[in-house]
Amino acid sequence: MRRAFMAAVPIVSHFKCRAPNKYPGAPKTVARFPVPNDKISWDVDYSEYKPPSYTSQHVIGAPWADRDVESSDLCFKFNQVDGKVDRRSFMGSYRVVDGIARNPIGRTGICGRGLLGRWGPNHAADPIVTRWKRTASGEKILKEGKPVLQFVAIQRKDNGEWAIPGGMVDPGEDVSATLKREFGEEALSCLELSAEDQEKIKKFVYNLFEHGEKMYEGYVDDPRNTDNSWMETVAKNFHDETGDAFNRVNLRAGDDAASVSWIDVGHEMKLYASHCDFLSRVATLRKAYY
Task: Report whether 20 contacts 74 (CB < 8 A).
Answer: no
Give pairs for 187-194: CB < 8 Å, separation 24+.
Answer: 187/129, 187/152, 187/154, 187/251, 187/252, 187/253, 187/254, 187/257, 187/260, 188/249, 188/251, 188/252, 188/254, 189/250, 189/251, 189/252, 189/254, 190/249, 190/250, 191/252, 192/250, 193/248
Number of Cβ atoms within 10 Å of the Cβ of 231: 22
Q: Which of 109, 112, 120, 167 binds ligand BGC (CB under 6 A)?
A: 167
Q: Taking contact as CB under 6 A, which single stretch among the options 29-37, 158-166, 258-266, 282-290 is the one that binds ligand BGC?
A: 158-166
Question: Interaction with ligand BGC in 271-290: which residues (CB under 6 A)?
Answer: 273
Judged by CB, which is closer to ligand BGC: 101, or 201? 101
- Per CB under 6 A, 253 contacts ligand BGC: no
Count of residues near ligand BGC by CB under 6 A: 11
The residue from 66, 86, 217, 222 that contacts ligand BGC (CB under 6 A) is 222
d(CA 76, CA 112): 15
Contact pattern from residue 118 through residue 147 relative to ligand BGC, giving x for each residue in contact according to CB under 6 A and a dash for the rest = ------x-x---------------------
Binding ligand BGC (rule: CB under 6 A), the pick from 220, 249, 257, 265 is 220
The alpha carbon dihedral of 268, 261, 25, 280 has a sign of negative
Show the site string, 96-115: x = touches ligand BGC by CB under 6 A, - = not: --------------------
- In the list 130, 233, 237, 280, the residue contacting ligand BGC (rule: CB under 6 A) is 233
Piece in contact with ligand BGC (CB under 6 A), picked from 21-29, 41-49, 163-171, 281-289? 163-171
Instruction: Report in angstroms the alpha-carbon separations of 46 from 50, 107, 246.
Output: 9, 10, 52
Residues binding ligand BGC (CB under 6 A): 124, 126, 163-164, 166-167, 220, 222, 231, 233, 273
